[in-house]
Amino acid sequence: MQQVEKERRKEDFEFWITFLPDKISELKNVLPKDISDKLDFSDDSLVVLEGYLLSTFNYEDITKNENKNLVDCLAAYVGSTLKKSWEQSYWDIELDDEKQLYFGVPVLKFKEKVLPPVSPYHTITTAMDRKKGDMMSLILKRIQDRLQQA
């Protein structure tokens, strides 16, 4: 990747982080009121959101280009919810090694813990693919448990 492209993508990432609250507001405005009212950044809200997504979309629909902005807003909410639960986490983006799984997408990484990064985008698509109904909440809880271990 050219340096100019890397700098542009880094700026896009910084912009995305800055406007997370706006993306979350946008999400709440497009969701049915009974769903958006339950988006309180809790693990239970992830179950509510995942249930809504599974009842409204399938994996192929959610990954269509026409739903890119919706997925971006969903990732803002899911990522913010995960980050609030994981005090040791911080936002990052990999732009150096194109072979990395999460190359070019925002991820949460962990201070002082050797844990794999978590991508809210991949968390959403994994939840849609697995169709469990509580996948996003399960990811939150599993990482939380690992963070609390010595």
Provide the pLDDT confidence category of residue 112 given band limits of 50, 70 and 90.
confident
Q: How many Å from the N-terminal Cα to the C-terminal Cα in the chain?
A: 39
Provide the pLDDT confidence category of residue 149 given band limits of 50, 70 and 90.
confident
∠ Cα 20 21 22 (to 5°): 90
Q: How many CA atoms lie within 13 A of 75 on its CB side?
A: 25
At residue 78, the pLDDT reads 98
**What's the pLDDT tens digit per position in 65-88?**
999 999 999 999 999 999 999 988
At residue 45, the pLDDT reads 98
Closest to 31 (Cα-Cα) out of 66, 56, 6: 56
**What's the pLDDT tens digit per position in 51-68?**
999 999 999 999 999 999
Q: What gap in Å lies between CA 94 and CA 10, rounded to an integer?
A: 9
